Amino acid sequence: MAIRDRLRRTMMFLPGNNPSMITDAHIYKPDSIMIDLEDAVSVNQKDAARFLVSEALKAIDYKTTERVVRVNGLDTPFGADDIRAIVKAGVDVIRLPKTDNPDEIVAVDKLITEVEREIGREGETLLMAAIESAAGIMNVKDIALASKRLMGIALGAEDYVTNLKTSRSKHGWELYYAREAIVLAARNAGIYCFDTVYSDVNNIEGFRNEVQFIKDLGFDGKSCIHPKQVRIVHEIYTPSQKEIEKSIRIINGAKEAEAKGSGVISVDGKMVDSPIIMRAQRVLELAKASGIYKED
């Protein structure tokens, strides 16, 4: 059964017609794998890829790695069959591509519910929406609130910039509004938000800079296309020992102040207020989820 609240720093893309990648991807320890039945699979291979992915979901033990499948849209001849097959196979999350409005989420939710009732596993399948157009960004607040199944929203930059009649740049300014809109919509809805892929796998410095940038913007994680990207994202998103120690001091200081009935907290010579305490709690939560910190 899918877990709604879990560590989701990395989501590694895999083509749905590549058996070896589907079989072995979890050994690189991404938080999630995203098996693609949409853009990565040609029309004449859609049925075969659907069968392959369904059988893999049933047969392979992916350990703690979350299993996400990007289906074809319901406006294609393949979408409904994709959803039926992978829900029956026990997928954790369905990723809906090119989501332009909340009605698309509602329609997919309805179909998932029908299939789950047929197999007696109601409420087990989560949803995420990929935002890949101007319409999607303009409607992203409503999309993020469209279904209780929706655990997150993600930016799909290539289709988005094409829709905007521009292209990807090194600095990424063409994505800035979309990124902020997605983060804001996710926080408003209480769900996760994921950044787009970085396609130049050999530009390690550029990738590292982008990951730090989107972390600072507020994204929960990033889509990846190579195992070495997974390692870098985990490194940047995992709190450092220095951050952990400072957060412990902040939390302990807050507890001591509360015990004394004092509303004034000072840590390392600086005043500490409620937002700083909340951020410290978040650091320790991430550290615990990453397996590098245990409370005494």
CATH number for the region 10-237 comes to 3.20.20.60
Confidence of residue 288 (pLDDT cuts 50, 70, 90): confident
Helices (H) and strands (E) in the chain, counts: 12, 10
Rounded distance between C-alpha atoms, residue 174 and residue 162, angstroms = 11
Q: Cα(123)–Cα(73) distance, rounded to whole angstroms?
A: 21
CA-wise closest residue to 110 among 90, 132, 84 = 84
pLDDT score, position 273: 78
What's the half-sphere exposure (Cβ side, CA atoms, 13 Å) at 234?
Answer: 18
Residue 271 has pLDDT above 70, yes or no: yes
**pLDDT of the residue at 176:** 97
Pairing of strands 10-15, 32-36: parallel
Of 72, 69, 26, 20, residue with least CA distance to 46:
72
CA dihedral 206, 210, 216, 220 (to 10 degrees): -140
Position 296 scores a pLDDT of: 59
Domain boundaries, the chain: 10-237, 241-289
Contacts with 143 (C-beta within 8 Å, 6 or more apart), sequence order: 99, 101, 102, 105, 129, 131, 136, 150, 153, 185
Q: Which tokens hold the place of 278?
A: 């909340």
Mean pLDDT of the region 113-124: 96
Note the pLDDT tens digit of each residue in 218-251: 999 999 999 999 999 999 999 888 888 888 888 8
Decide: 35 and 67 in contact? Cβ < 8 Å.
yes
Please report how many Cα atoms fall inside a 13 Å half-sphere around the Cα of residue 39, on the Cβ side. Answer: 12
% of the chain residues with pLDDT over 90: 76
Distance between CA 237 and CA 258 in Å, rounded?
30
Percent pLDDT > 70 in the chain is 98
